Amino acid sequence: MNFDSRKKFKEERTLILIKPDGVQRSLIGEIIGRFERSGLKLIGLKMLVPSKDLIEKHYLVNPEWRRITGEKTIESYKKKGKQPPFEDPFKVTEIILNNLKKYITSGPAVVMVWQGMHAVGIVRKLVGGTEPLTSDVGTIRGDFTIDSYEVSDIDGRAVRNLVHASGNIEEAEKEIVLWFQDGELLNYRLIPESILYDVNLDGILE
């Protein structure tokens, strides 16, 4: 691997949001700890009450999000042998987006940028699948909460799943500029990065 592609991997970034339920459940430390011990580097962090406008922009950074999320939801209904509320994925997503705006603007949230090798994929793995009922044991959504599409639909609200994490590198870059200004992200070295990234592990033995 040449220098440039190594640098590209080391500098992959992802945006993570601890949603208001994560803050209310006193899980900020637990959630941050999971990312911290992975080896990724925290380069930006703040607490705020997000606006509805920001949440709409955030979920619509991916022009395909409406279609994909609608289709994912319809498929999950059908897998359980249930009838989705609409057959049109865009109608399904309209409701989800409205409910998301209410949910994520309901109180303080914590937003962060984490950087490092395969940051997007590693963080998605630690976060787990969207629906806590089916997200894997060992993941944040699988371990710390108990919601489902079924119950959130009955209640007419978004699935409460503690965190958001960028879905891919392009989404991450677009989300980061929505939430952070220039200068709020820090460029620094973590000494233990050597053990993760250096090609030769010189200098350990005395």
Give the angle 199-200-201 at the CA atoms, nearest 5°: 120
Active-site choice (66, 164, 172, 176): 164
124 makes contact, choosing from ligand ATP, Mg ion, none, with CB < 5 to 8 Å by partner type, with none
Pick the binder of ligand ATP from 41, 66, 101, 164 (CB under 6 A). 164
Closest CA to 126 of 11, 30, 45, 7: 30
Q: How far is the CB of 109 from ligand ATP (least distance, A)?
A: 11
Q: What is the CA radius of gyration of the chain?
A: 18
Give the integer Cα–Cα distance in Å for 101 and 158.
9
Per the CB < 8 A criterion, the answer to whether 174 and 55 are in contact is no
Contact between 69 and ligand ATP per CB under 6 A? yes
Residue 79 makes CB contacts below 8 A (sequence gap 6+) with none
Q: Please, what is the minimum distance in Å from the beta carbon of residue 65 to ligand ATP?
A: 6
Pattern of binders to ligand ATP over 122-161, x per CB under 6 A?
--------x------------------x--x-----xx-x
Q: How far apart are CA 64 and CA 149, in angstroms?
A: 21
Residues with a known catalytic role? 164
Contact positions toward Mg ion, by CB under 5 A?
167
Residues of this chain that bind ligand ATP (CB under 6 A): 69, 72-73, 96, 100, 130, 149, 152, 158-159, 161, 164-165, 167
